[in-house]
Structure 1
Amino acid sequence: MNDYNSEERILSELTRMTQNSLIKPELYSKYAVKRGLRDLDGRGVLVGLTEIGEVHSYILDEGEIVPVPGRLIYRGYDIADLVKGFTADDRYGFEEVVYLLLFGRLPDPDVQKDFQQLLGNYQRLPEDFARDMILKAPSKDIMNTLARSVLALYSFDDNPDDTSLENVLKQCMRLIACFPSLAVYGFQAFSHYHGNQSLYIHSPRADLSIAENVLSMLRPDSKYTKLEATLLDLALVLHAEHGGGNNSSFVTHVVTSTGTDTYSAMAAAIGALKGPRHGGANIKVVQMFEDMKDKLMNWDDDEEIENYLTQILSKDAFDRSGLIYGIGHAVYSISDPRAVILKEYVAQLAQEKGLEAEFQLYSAVERLAPKVIAKSNKMYKAVSANVDFYSGFVYRMLNIPDEMFTPIFAIARIAGWSAHRIEEIVNAGKIIRPAYKSVAPRRKYVSMIDRT
């Protein structure tokens, strides 16, 4: 009882704590603080240089920002050209993109073969790791399992704190290779211990691509179609990198700049991606559409769809957040190239799955939402569908459980994080330490006996 009273007394200070933590909004303008490291026009504050990825969404014309169709560039190559290249050859592209991000050049056939073989060899987890580190402590959140597993792998590394380039590269490649197993086994443990489902633990196969292995390990019968694997591989390619300014990649730079180990840096990046403002948006898109399908009488009625979207903006529908999930992006305005590329293949999978009507509903919302948002005067720039708009639909069609949506994002983005960690080490910059100005008033010390 005393412990309870003590806890209650301390927690009663919450209101006072909130008041002491609250900073007046006008002070950010007074001291020219860029909240969220963003300018008023939405552009990110320049805090670093990178050769890994580039997000291009506007041009400057006589000092004015002019939006242009979005482009995503990996190591100087337009993502659209990379996708055309490997799809024209009817092969999977994620492993090739991983190599490109890590080494800065496209591999020739022999190098690509060696690289994929090496990743295949690195897939297997340490002996009894899945049992002792994942199955014995199943989490209800797979991203939590992923972060904890990455930190646990530190104990199985003979040189975990060696930050030489050769050692960090090996560590990164091993993590890239085993992320699918860590995530899928984490889900299987969750499904069994928290969902009372049968437990399936399939070993990864060195002869399969990463996308194929994810599907093979997730499904009880390990079966999948070529189109299913192609769509998941494409989703991994499109999520692999997004410039150094996205939150989790920036975290990778920040943590790496301290000189810490690879496992700590990657766990921190996972923690950043776990946040719903960063990696969990596609789940909200799917949930929004489930609510929409339930509420709409006619999926082909533009007026009815517009009314529903208007209700979302006025906080009268769905989760009452006022947000149309999957529409709009911090950088892109006219178009998100990832959504443009993904949509073409989504149509094919929807036809294979008999979900053409649902795909048409997605297309209608993509077309109508920017108009509805414009009418509400709630935007400072043009908006369009972002990659989350279609990726959640893809995962649902692939029968990937919602709990795996963000972990799949991590399976892809570990490639970009690895490249950014290596780039930070190569350039041996200073520890990243931005300034915070204190606006707290000065106070005189009061002795314990005189406090009330």
Structure 2
Amino acid sequence: MRGLTGLLYETSKLHPVNGITYRGKDLNEIIKQSPRASGGTQPTPEGVLWLLLTGVYPNQEEVKTFQEELYQRSHLSDETETLIRNLPEKMHPMTKFSIGVMSCQPDSNFAKAYHKGVPKKEYWEHTLEDSLDICAKVIQLAAVVYNSTYNRGKQLPGPDQDLDMSANLVQMMGFSDKSFYDLMRLYLVIHADHEGGTVSSHTAHCVNSALSDPYLAYSAAMNGLAGPLHGLANQESLNFLLDFEKRFGHIWTDNDIANYVEEILSESRVIPGYGHAVLRKTDPRFIHLLEFAEKNIEENNLIRLLNQCYTVIPKILDKHKKIKNPWPNVDAGSGVMLLHYGLNHQDFYTVLFGVSRALGIMSSLVWSRAFNLPIERPNSITLDLLLEKVSSGK
């Protein structure tokens, strides 16, 4: 089904050259025009969530009020926090995260309204209520998952109503670097949505099309995101650089990079972080990460290596005729940035991806219900029928 048009997805669209747009606005414009937190240099997730829902940018007063509302919606029950903390320490963070989302499902506004017989024309309103609750709660859910897995026994701060979602997440995980606040703002914004065909977005759309409530749909999406072919890419890209560093140390040349890449390709392996199913140019999200590093991170070996790979690797990949896109995508750089700020627990990176993707996925569900889209039901075929068609030449 790759490339087969079959979904109406209102919140974003991916252009093969220009990259992602949210509600028709490209990422460069969004980064420039979205509201910022006080003292911050990057747009806030709250402002981009507003844009995804409404199609327009909020002003500073609107985003301030919206931030306050989301803070009020972010509360987790004692039962949910206790449940997550009592899960096995070695359980994967994405499994904990999905379980945490499901534990909030009994509070679904949509489920309660549906069972009361609310008319279809009001479905979107209750989907909106659930979607806002989920976008607010995922910050605290992610922090509880992180702390129960990696910070057991430590006393860490709770949410602060004066901080935006990104700053709260970083602080609740035990980090205090204000520059990390800004990186997390950028990270959540550029990963917020990537049109409807990705596994996580499509899964949410499919599950919600059965009128399963947004909690059920989002949890299902996270289970799809946990798959290695979807949510593992930035970890593989980071390990590609770390393996190179382990082999060559801090003194290396462009030829070392080229030989390393050729060696991997000769073994029929791919270069992680390079290429994309849709994009045919450098991912603008990757460029924004490089620009952030240039302004905020003192050059170190991994940052220097990341930049130089961007110079060397596309030239090599471009020589291979089977490779349609030799350019880096966002995953080539995001892991390096997270590691720089001390977030070295790679299994948690996918949870952060899931937190960011909540903004787009939940916004899209609101529009799906506003459009009253039907249950998804594509046709299928058996192998025998397929072979019959092939043999008949039809």
When normalised by structure 2's length, the TM-score is: 0.89
> Structure 1: how far apart are the matches of 2:96 and 2:113?
25
- Call closer, same or farther: CA 1:262–1:277 in 2, change over 3 Å: same
> Structure 2: how far apart are the matches of 1:91 and 1:56?
23
> Structure 1: how far apart are the matches of 2:266 and 2:234?
21
The alignment status of 1:151 with 2:102, answered yes or no, reads: yes
Deviation at 1:83, TM superposition (A): 0.5
Computing the radius of gyration over CA atoms, which structure comes out larger, 1 or 2?
1
- Call closer, same or farther: CA 1:157–1:421 in 2, change over 3 Å: closer
Find 1:314's aligned residue among 257, 266, 269. 266
Aligned to 2:199: 247
Find 1:73's aligned residue among 9, 21, 25. 21
Q: Taking every aligned residue pair, what percent have the same amino acid on both sides? A: 27
> Structure 2: how far apart are the matches of 1:87 and 1:423?
23
The alignment status of 1:337 with 2:287, answered yes or no, reads: no
Aligned to 2:302: 358
Kindly report which structure 2 residues correspond to 1:47-446, keeping only aligned pairs within 5 A, or say none.
47-57=6-16, 69-86=17-34, 90=41, 92-131=43-82, 133-138=83-88, 140-157=91-108, 160-162=111-113, 164-191=123-150, 198-219=153-174, 222-225=175-178, 227-296=179-248, 299-315=251-267, 322-351=269-298, 355-379=299-323, 381-400=324-343, 401-440=345-384
> Structure 1: how far apart are the matches of 2:48 and 2:373?
26
Contact 2:201 2:361 in 1 (8 A): yes
Instruction: Kindly provide the amino acid, as one letter, of the partner of residue 177 in structure 2.
Output: Y
How many residues align structurally?
372
- Call closer, same or farther: CA 1:128–1:259 in 2, change over 3 Å: closer
Deviation at 1:332, TM superposition (A): 0.8
Q: Secondary structure at the match of 2:288?
A: helix
Q: Secondary structure at the match of 1:150?
A: helix
Contact 1:83 1:93 in 2 (8 A): no
Contact 1:161 1:261 in 2 (8 A): no
Deviation at 1:371, TM superposition (A): 2.0
The unaligned stretches of length 5 or more in structure 1 are 1-36, 39-43, 58-68, 316-320, 442-452
Deviation at 1:372, TM superposition (A): 2.0
Contact 1:327 1:389 in 2 (8 A): yes
> Structure 1: how far apart are the matches of 2:369 and 2:101?
20
**Alpha-carbon deviations, 1:165-223, whole Å to 9, x = none?**
2222111111111112111211221225xxxx54444311111111111110111xx52
State the structure with bigger RCO (CA 8 A, min sep 6), 1 or 2: 2
Cα RMSD of the aligned pairs, angstroms, is 2.1
> Structure 2: how far apart are the matches of 1:56 and 1:177?
29
Contact 1:99 1:107 in 2 (8 A): yes
Deviation at 1:234, TM superposition (A): 0.5
Deviation at 1:87, TM superposition (A): 7.7
Q: Secondary structure at the match of 1:277?
A: helix
Contact 1:160 1:261 in 2 (8 A): yes
The unaligned stretches of length 5 or more in structure 2 are 115-122, 386-394
Deviates more, 1:149-158 or 1:71-80: 149-158
- Call closer, same or farther: CA 1:297–1:231 in 2, change over 3 Å: closer
> Structure 1: how far apart are the matches of 2:108 and 2:193?
26
When normalised by structure 1's length, the TM-score is: 0.78
